[in-house]
Each structure stands twice: as C-alpha cells, then as structure tokens.
Amino acid sequence: MSNDTKSNGRGKWGSRIGFMLAASGSAIGLGNLWKFPYITYKFGAGAFVLVYLGCIALVGLPIMVAEMMIGRRSGLNPVGAFKKLTNRRIWVFVGGLGVTCGFILLSYYSVVAGWALEYTVKSVRNDFANHQTITDKDIGAHLFAEYIKTPKSKSDPIKAGYGSELSTISFYDLKSPKAKKAFLAKLAKAWGEFAKGKPEIYAKLKSNTTASLLDAFQRGDDYSSRKLRLQRSLWVGALFGKFVASPAKVVGWHLLFMLLTMLIVVGGVSQGIERASKILMPLLLTMLVYLVIRALGFSSASESLAMIFRPNFHALTIEAVLEALGHSFFTLSLGMGAMLTYGSYLSKDESLTTSSIVITALDTLIALMATIIIFCAIHAFKMPVGDGGVSNLFRAIPAMFQETPGGNWLTVIFYVLVAFAALTSTISLLEVVVSYFIDERGWSRRKATLLMGSAIALLGVASALSLNAWANFKPFFGKTVFEFFDYTVSNWFLPLGGLFVALFVGWVLPVEAKRDELKGLPAVAFGLWHVTIRYISPLAVAGVFVWLLYQSIVA
Ligand code: PFF
C-alpha cells in the first residue's frame, strides 16, 4: 500500500500482488505456526482438526469474501464502513467491537511474537546445541516425573519398572507373567502405603524407582541415540522454561516487537514489507515443506499423523468446537475488520472470491504443515509437554534442526521467518486501530500510531507477566490475563463480529451491491455463497454460542 496517494494517509494497493501479499501476510502468522498446533495438541487433536476445516470452509471463507466486500464498497475503516453503508447506528457498534478486538488481540499477540525474537537470538548463539548440560540425574528425574504423571497401568513395562524392590531385582528379569504380576502387586502395595501418608516410604520409593527407571532406560536398545534425543528434548524444554520465567526478557521483547510494528505503520514503509514478503513468504513455505519431509521420516510419524487426522467424535467437547470456530476467525484475520480494512484499499478490478480462496487455502496448508511437523517432533523426541502445548513451536523446531546438518543456521532462518510472519500480522492489527482514528477522529497517522501503539504495548505487559510474575494471578474464571484475553477475543468476540458481518452482508446489503462486487462470478457460485452467508455461516456461529451457553446453564 502506498501511503502517499491521499493526504489523510489512506492509499491504494500498488499492485494486485501487493494486496495478496499483505492480506495473506495478515492471515499467516502465529495463528498458523504457534497457535493452531498448540490448540490441536491441547484439545487432543482427533476430530478437532476436522471441525476446524469445516469451520474454515463454511464460515471463514464466505465471511472473508463478505468482509472484504464491506471494505471495498465503503473504502473505509470498520466503523466508517458501516456508517457509510447503512443508516442504522446499531451496525456501527460492530465496527467498534472490531477495533476493540484489534486493540486487545495485538496486545498479547505481540508477546508471543517477542518469543520469536528471543529464539532468533538463541539460535544465533547456538544455545540449542548445549544439550550435554542434561545429565543422567536430570534424565532420571524426568523419567520419574513422567512415571508419576501416568496412570498406574500394570501392563505397561515402563510403569511396571518401579518400586522398592528394584534395587535387587529387575522387572525385566522376570520372565513369567505370574511372577511379574506378583511383583507388581507388591509394588502397588508399597505405593498404597505411601498414599496413606508415609513420607519415608515415598523417599525410598522415589530414589529406587528413579534408579530402576534409569536402569531400564539404559538397558534398552539404541541407548545412546535415545539418550541424545532425550537430552535434546529436555534441554529445549529447560531453555523455554527459563526464558518465560524472566519477566524482563518477555516484557522487553514484547515492547521491542510493538516498537517495530509501530515504526512500520507510522513510517509508511509497507512497500518495503511487501518487497520482503515476496522473498520471505516462499522461503517460509519451502522451509515448512522441508521440515514436513523430515518429520515424516520419524519412525513414529504414522502414529502422529493418525493422532492428528483420525477423528474421534466421542472425545469432542463443545469447548473444543468453540475453540475451532474461534480459531478459524483468528487465523484468517476475520471478525474484527482487518480484512475489511485491507479490502478498503483494494481496487475494483480484483476478484474478491479468488483472493479469498487463495488466502484461505494457503493459510490452511501452512497450519496443517506446522501441525504435522510439531506433532511428529514431539512424539519422536518424546517431549514432556507440561504447559499444554504453548511451547511446542519453541521446542520441536530447535530439536529437529539439531539433527540436521547446518541445522543451527536453519534455526536462525526459521525464527526470523516466524518473526516476520508475525510482523505482517501485527501490522494489520495495528492498521485496523490506526485507520479508525485517522478516518473517524481526524488524527494524523503519526499521532494515531504513537498513542494507540503505546497503549497497546502497555496493555500487553499484563499478558507478558501472566507467564511469570503474575502466573498465579487468575482472576478471570481461573484464567491468567493472557489466557483470558485470548479466550474472550478469539472464541467469542471474533465469531460474534463475524456473525454480524454475515448478517449485514447477507440481509442488509442490497443484492445489486453484492452482485456488483462479485461481478464475473458464475451465477451458481454466487448463489452458493449467498445461501451460505445468509443462513449457514450465521447459524453455525449462533448454534455453537447457544449450545455452549445452554450447557453452561444446565451444568
Ligand atoms: N491471522 C493472524 C494469525 O493467524 O497469526 C492473527 C490475526 C491478525 C488475527 C490480524 C486477526 C487480525 F486482524
């Protein structure tokens, strides 16, 4: 976009490719690389991915066309757009909701974007290579921690390899199933005594169990390669834990990322970003393809794939459906006016449907690739994931690249690309807020960017502290500030904004205007889109909301 076309700071895209790069840059970001794999992991994958794909096709894609349509028709920011297209003031509220969402979303998004900067530095320093720091003692402690977490399964040999007796007798030496059973019963009894509160038994059990787990680990086949993988796995975990525990670092990187975003939004150097996108986006794609190939080479890959793609509807909860729905908005930058704002800079000659399809397809492809890579790596390295998956992107990739020739430099490039992908998204988020203040309040671009950018940066500090200093501050339904912001904005406000966009375009915008905007689209395709935007998308969103509210009332 060139900022110089009009004196108020608004402009038009320099080229079709410019728009496509900026809009897909907005869509492709941490949502694809960090959040989708993380929530897929958190919700146990299975049917989650399928529900997400359904949401993308039936809700996300049609609403993207609708949002860009409102933007192009009005040529304005979310608030101004509704004001221009209708007299009913109620719709202006939808625009206001969008601007507010952009404000909050950017505040915590920039925190995670800051992690990518820290990881770029970590890669340059080659921190990930220091896995030897993990000793046998650490491995023993890890095996014990894992053991304690898993339910007591008598048939599982790892679970079975514990107990006070193991200093003299190993489970693995017992050949007959009967002897094994008796042995396990004895151990279960010992643990039972511990459960009744005998701490001295616990101490003994713990040290014996740790010793025997370590013994079993060392006796197995491929000990040295398994040890190396475990060291790498524990090391990348320790590095992440240490980093997020530091308020100064997390806050510092977040502020720096906000500063970068503001510099670009205020400086009108978007053309430079466009130019960089032309190289960096294909590079990101190439790197992901390479990583997918490597990930599929792990011996456990088929299990990982089955976990991602084999639907298990029994395990699907309504919360998971809400998350999948919310994420389809988050990942496509919908429901808060970002695509609307970008559409407002789009020229009449471009096809809204083709643009939307290309962006959606690319976005989905990248999310799925990132998920495949991360799941395969987590399984292959048997990574302990205590935080529900938040750190997955920051463990899986360094661990994988440590096994690749030249991997250290590839890790540097990878995190630079993550940071860049995040930057093209944060630019679009700030642009929504800024364009509102330029158009509606008559502010200059500089003033809007500086004031709003600083306010957002300040709010983001609360999210940054949620991971360390304020980790136990959970005033909102047991959620930290970070979790609460993400939950309310992604899962409720973005779909709500999208619902209004669908209703507006479906029912308020005159049909002639829609036909005019989608000129060139075959009648059947237009009809299909129109039915979806009028009935299917709004009903899907409203249905999930009603279902969830009903459940929370009944429960
Ligand atoms: N779509 C971005 C991502 O997936 O990372 C996040 C985002 C950007 C959401 C812009 C909303 C938005 F307006």
pLDDT (0 to 100) of residue 269? 53
Protein residue with its CA nearest to atom 10 in ligand 1: 333
CB of 32 closer than 6 angstroms to any ligand 1 atom? yes
pLDDT (0 to 100) of residue 195? 57
C-alpha 554 – ligand 1 centre gap (Å):
34
Question: How far lies 15's CA from each of 12, 20, 131, 296, 357, in Å?
Answer: 9, 9, 48, 38, 18
The reply to whether the predicted model has a pTM over 0.85 is yes
Chain mean pLDDT for the chain: 88
C-alpha 389 – ligand 1 centre gap (Å):
20
Print the SS3 string covering 376-435: HHHHHCCCCCCCCCCCHHHHHHHHHHHCCCCHHHHHHHHHHHHHHHHHHHHHHHHHHHHH
**Residue bearing the bigger pLDDT, 295 or 217:** 295
C-alpha 331 – ligand 1 centre gap (Å):
5
**Cβ(48)–Cβ(320) under 8 Å?**
yes
CB of 104 closer than 6 angstroms to any ligand 1 atom? no
Q: Can you tell me the distance from the alpha carbon of 148 to that of 205, in angstroms, rounded to the nearest whole number?
A: 11
Q: Which of these, 350, 437, 329, 427, lies nearest to 95 by C-alpha position?
A: 437
CB of 425 closer than 6 angstroms to any ligand 1 atom? yes
Residue 527 CB partners (closer than 8 Å, separation 6+): none
CB of 31 closer than 6 angstroms to any ligand 1 atom? yes
CB of 489 closer than 6 angstroms to any ligand 1 atom? no
Query: Phi and psi (nearest 5°) for 479?
Result: -110, 150
Segment 211-240 shows an average pLDDT of 91
Q: What DSSP string describes 356-375?
A: HHHHHHHHHHHHHHHHHHHH
C-alpha 24 – ligand 1 centre gap (Å):
10
The string of pLDDT tens digits covering residues 17-33 is 778 888 999 999 999 99
pLDDT (0 to 100) of residue 267? 80
Q: Taking 70 as the threshold, does the pLDDT of residue 215 lie above it?
A: yes
Confidence of residue 190 (pLDDT cuts 50, 70, 90): low
C-alpha 152 – ligand 1 centre gap (Å):
42
* Rama region for 197: left / alpha / beta (φ>0; ψ in -120 to 50; rest): left
Residue with tokens 């690249």: 401
CB of 337 closer than 6 angstroms to any ligand 1 atom? no
Pick the atom of ligand 1 nearest to 337's CA: 13
Confidence of residue 156 (pLDDT cuts 50, 70, 90): very low
The string of pLDDT tens digits covering residues 469-518 is 999 999 888 899 999 999 999 999 999 999 999 999 999 999 999 999 99
Q: How deeply is 297 buried, as exposed, middle or buried, from its count of CB atoms within 10 A (0-12, 13-18, 19+)?
A: exposed
Residue with tokens 């642009």: 431
Pocket probe for ligand 1: among 34, 77, 281, 330, the residue whose CB has the most ligand atoms within 8 Å is: 330
Segment 122-127 shows an average pLDDT of 96
pLDDT (0 to 100) of residue 180? 62
Length of the chain: 555
Determine the longest span between alpha carbons in the chain, in angstroms: 86
Least confident of 7-11, 350-354, 401-405, 528-532: 7-11
C-alpha 332 – ligand 1 centre gap (Å):
6
pLDDT (0 to 100) of residue 199? 62
CB of 333 closer than 6 angstroms to any ligand 1 atom? yes
Query: Phi and psi (nearest 5°) for 469?
Result: -55, -35
CB of 116 closer than 6 angstroms to any ligand 1 atom? no
Pick the atom of ligand 1 nearest to 332's CA: 1
Pick the atom of ligand 1 nearest to 27's CA: 1
C-alpha 354 – ligand 1 centre gap (Å):
20
27 token code pair: 């869509």
CB of 29 closer than 6 angstroms to any ligand 1 atom? yes
Segment 187-192 shows an average pLDDT of 64
Q: Which of these, 326, 329, 440, lies nearest to 92 by C-alpha position?
A: 440
Protein residue with its CA nearest to atom 9 in ligand 1: 333
3-state SS, residue 167:
helix
CB of 308 closer than 6 angstroms to any ligand 1 atom? no
286 token code pair: 């190439």
Cβ atoms within 10 A of the Cβ of 245, count?
13
Q: Which of these, 140, 182, 189, 146, lies nearest to 164 by C-alpha position?
A: 189
pLDDT (0 to 100) of residue 319? 92
pLDDT (0 to 100) of residue 194? 57
Segment 346-373 shows an average pLDDT of 95
Confidence of residue 155 (pLDDT cuts 50, 70, 90): very low
507 token code pair: 């029912």
Q: What percent of the chain has pLDDT over 70?
A: 87
**Helix (H) / strand (E) containing 151:** none
Q: Can you tell me the distance from the alpha carbon of 232 to that of 62, in angstroms, rounded to the nearest whole number?
A: 44
Question: How far lies 495's CA from each of 107, 141, 366, 549, 551, in Å?
Answer: 19, 44, 22, 15, 18
The string of pLDDT tens digits covering residues 423-447 is 999 999 999 999 899 988 999 999 9
C-alpha 429 – ligand 1 centre gap (Å):
7
pLDDT (0 to 100) of residue 150? 60
Confidence of residue 186 (pLDDT cuts 50, 70, 90): low
Q: Taking 70 as the threshold, does the pLDDT of residue 170 lie above it?
A: no
**Cβ(15)–Cβ(21) under 8 Å?**
no
C-alpha 67 – ligand 1 centre gap (Å):
14
Residue 392 CB partners (closer than 8 Å, separation 6+): 34, 37, 38, 41, 374, 378, 385
pLDDT (0 to 100) of residue 154? 47
Q: Can you tell me the distance from the alpha carbon of 206 to that of 186, in angstroms, rounded to the nearest whole number?
A: 16
**Helix (H) / strand (E) containing 126:** none
Pick the atom of ligand 1 nearest to 432's CA: 13
Pocket probe for ligand 1: among 32, 106, 429, the residue whose CB has the most ligand atoms within 8 Å is: 429
Least confident of 88-97, 255-264, 392-401, 411-420: 88-97
Pick the atom of ligand 1 nearest to 30's CA: 5
pLDDT (0 to 100) of residue 72? 94
Confidence of residue 13 (pLDDT cuts 50, 70, 90): low
Protein residue with its CA nearest to atom 7 in ligand 1: 333
Residue with tokens 């969103």: 541
Q: What DSSP string describes 224-289?
A: HHHHHHHHHHHHHHHHHHHHHT-HHHHHHHHHHHHHHHHHHHHHT-HHHHHHHHHHHHHHHHHHHH
Q: State which amino acid sits at residue 273.
A: I
Cβ atoms within 10 A of the Cβ of 147, count?
19
Question: How far lies 155's CA from each of 4, 117, 152, 164, 182, in Å?
Answer: 70, 45, 9, 19, 13
CB of 33 closer than 6 angstroms to any ligand 1 atom? no
Query: Phi and psi (nearest 5°) for 172?
Result: -70, -15
The distance from CA 18 to its chain's CA centroid, rounded to whole angstroms, is 25
Protein residue with its CA nearest to atom 11 in ligand 1: 333
Pocket probe for ligand 1: among 39, 40, 111, 331, the residue whose CB has the most ligand atoms within 8 Å is: 331
Residue with tokens 């053309």: 271
Q: Can you tell me the distance from the alpha carbon of 229 to that of 232, in angstroms, rounded to the nearest whole number?
A: 5
**Cβ(233)–Cβ(384) under 8 Å?**
yes
C-alpha 89 – ligand 1 centre gap (Å):
27
Q: Taking 50 as the threshold, does the pLDDT of residue 529 lie above it?
A: yes
Residue 555 CB partners (closer than 8 Å, separation 6+): none
Q: Taking 90 as the threshold, does the pLDDT of residue 371 lie above it?
A: yes
C-alpha 550 – ligand 1 centre gap (Å):
29
pLDDT (0 to 100) of residue 379? 93
Q: Which domains does the chain have, with CATH numbers?
A: 16-131+232-554 (1.20.1740.10), 134-231 (no CATH)
Least confident of 10-14, 160-164, 241-245, 344-348: 160-164
pLDDT (0 to 100) of residue 465? 97
Q: How deeply is 177 buried, as exposed, middle or buried, from its count of CB atoms within 10 A (0-12, 13-18, 19+)?
A: exposed
Instruction: Please tell me what DSSP assigns to residue 533.
Output: I
Q: Can you tell me the distance from the alpha carbon of 297 to that of 407, in angstroms, rounded to the nearest whole number?
A: 16
Pocket probe for ligand 1: among 428, 436, 493, the residue whose CB has the most ligand atoms within 8 Å is: 428
Pocket probe for ligand 1: among 103, 423, 425, 489, the residue whose CB has the most ligand atoms within 8 Å is: 425
pLDDT (0 to 100) of residue 202? 62
Q: Taking 60 as the threshold, does the pLDDT of residue 171 lie above it?
A: no
CB of 331 closer than 6 angstroms to any ligand 1 atom? yes
**Residue bearing the bigger pLDDT, 383 or 157:** 383
Q: State which amino acid sits at residue 343.
A: G
Pick the atom of ligand 1 nearest to 102's CA: 13
Instruction: Please tell me what DSSP assigns to residue 444.
Output: -
Rg of the Cα atoms in the chain: 26
